[in-house]
């Protein structure tokens, strides 16, 4: 982890403890703010312009320095991101979100700066894109590849894949499952913002869990991982990296492009299949996925081109023939 400065570390602790942000989110915001602090030193001539970013010491950034930051400084940073680092609108929008959140914290929560320079900072427009997802046939083939795998971990890997594709859970949610989170046909998971939600398990999930639990019972589990549902061959709770590596391997074995599809795309796939074939109400889908806003869930209402085509074809005017109706 790169050295930072006290106020940034206080802010990161605040995000975790008070706002319930995930470790991944805090890591991204920390990176963005470290980058801004280093840019600030170059932009103000405190260090030579040709100093490599990673060599710029920001441990001396204090309240006095941050109190002198202006909106123009922030705009200069955004322009620099666009020109020198050639960042997309989406990437710049995240950097801006980091700045707005940090300076709001300093001004409104800690009250250590007189004004909030990020108050009027605008984010670039981001075009909405439909989520990438596997087709039903691809999903079925992927599951078969996992089930038939000769690897010693195939019961575990198939179970993880089954939960991803049937329940639409996030990577961190699956990794964090404990055995006592399973109650018959339901599963409690901890999602974003440390919010708990209940997921209902279908027959495929229950069968996969039974097979994995039988295999897990034969393994030597370390004391600190006794509660963990998914464990590694070393008997520890499986890591996020190992889950990603496992899913990537299965995708490759199924002939699926891993430059396009990943663990998160399995979440998109589960949501799309539920919406397309299960005719799940958008509000229910929101609850299943653990989205805070229904607007996030609505991206799945735009992915079913086949349904859109059928809707147009079902219009009573679809078969109107003006020549035929001439008298």
Residues identified as active-site: 170, 192, 264, 267, 291, 300
Q: Which two tokens stand for residue 324?
A: 């035929």
d(CA 156, CA 181): 17
End-to-end CA distance of the chain: 81
Q: Which of 165, 198, 202, 205 is nearest to 287 (CA)?
A: 198
Q: Given the structure tokens 């229910």, which residue do they identify?
A: 284
Half-sphere exposure of 195 (CA within 13 A, CB side): 13
Helices H, strands E: what count in the chain? 14, 3
Beta-carbon contacts of residue 301 (< 8 Å; ≥ 6 apart): 275, 282
Q: How far is CA 2 from the centre of its chain?
A: 23
What are the distances in angstroms from CA 6 to CA 9, 46, 59, 61, 275?
Answer: 5, 20, 8, 8, 46
In 3-state terms, what secondary structure has residue 120? coil
d(CA 289, CA 82): 33
In 3-state terms, what secondary structure has residue 249? helix
d(CA 51, CA 46): 11
What are the distances in angstroms from CA 39 to CA 1, 44, 95?
Answer: 18, 9, 13
Contact 121, 74 (CB under 8 A): yes
Contact 51, 34 (CB under 8 A): no
Q: How far is CA 173 from the centre of its chain?
A: 11
């Amino acid at each position: 982890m790169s050295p930072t400065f006290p106020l940034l570390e206080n802010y990161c602790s605040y995000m975790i403890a008070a706002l319930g942000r995930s470790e991944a989110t805090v890591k991204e915001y920390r990176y963005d703010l470290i980058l801004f602090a280093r840019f600030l030193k170059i932009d103000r001539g405190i260090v030579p312009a040709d100093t490599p970013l990673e060599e710029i010491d920001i441990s001396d950034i204090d309240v006095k320095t941050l109190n002198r930051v202006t909106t123009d400084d922030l705009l200069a940073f955004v322009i620099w991101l666009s020109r020198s680092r050639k960042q997309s609108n989406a990437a710049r929008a995240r950097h801006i979100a980091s700045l707005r959140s940090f300076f709001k914290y300093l001004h409104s929560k800690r009250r250590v700066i007189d004004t909030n320079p990020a108050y009027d900072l605008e984010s670039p427009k981001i075009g909405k894109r439909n989520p990438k997802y596997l087709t039903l046939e691809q999903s079925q083939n992927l599951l078969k590849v996992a089930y038939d795998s000769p690897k010693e971990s195939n019961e575990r890997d198939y179970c993880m894949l089954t939960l991803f594709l049937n329940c639409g859970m996030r990577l961190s949610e699956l990794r964090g499952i404990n055995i006592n989170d399973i109650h018959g046909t339901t599963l409690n998971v901890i999602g974003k913002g440390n919010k708990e939600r209940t997921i209902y398990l279908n027959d495929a999930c229950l069968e996969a869990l039974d097979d994995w639990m039988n295999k897990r019972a034969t393994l030597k589990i370390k004391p600190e991982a006794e509660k963990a549902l998914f464990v590694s061959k070393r008997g520890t709770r499986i890591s996020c990296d190992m889950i990603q590596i496992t899913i990537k391997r299965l995708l490759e074995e199924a002939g699926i492009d891993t430059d396009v599809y990943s663990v998160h795309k399995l979440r998109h796939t589960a949501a799309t299949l539920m919406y397309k074939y299960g005719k799940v109400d958008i509000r229910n889908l929101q609850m299943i996925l653990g989205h805070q806003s229904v607007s996030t869930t609505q991206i799945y209402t735009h992915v079913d081109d086949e349904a859109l085509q059928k809707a147009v074809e079902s219009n009573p005017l679809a078969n109107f023939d003006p020549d035929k109706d001439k008298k």
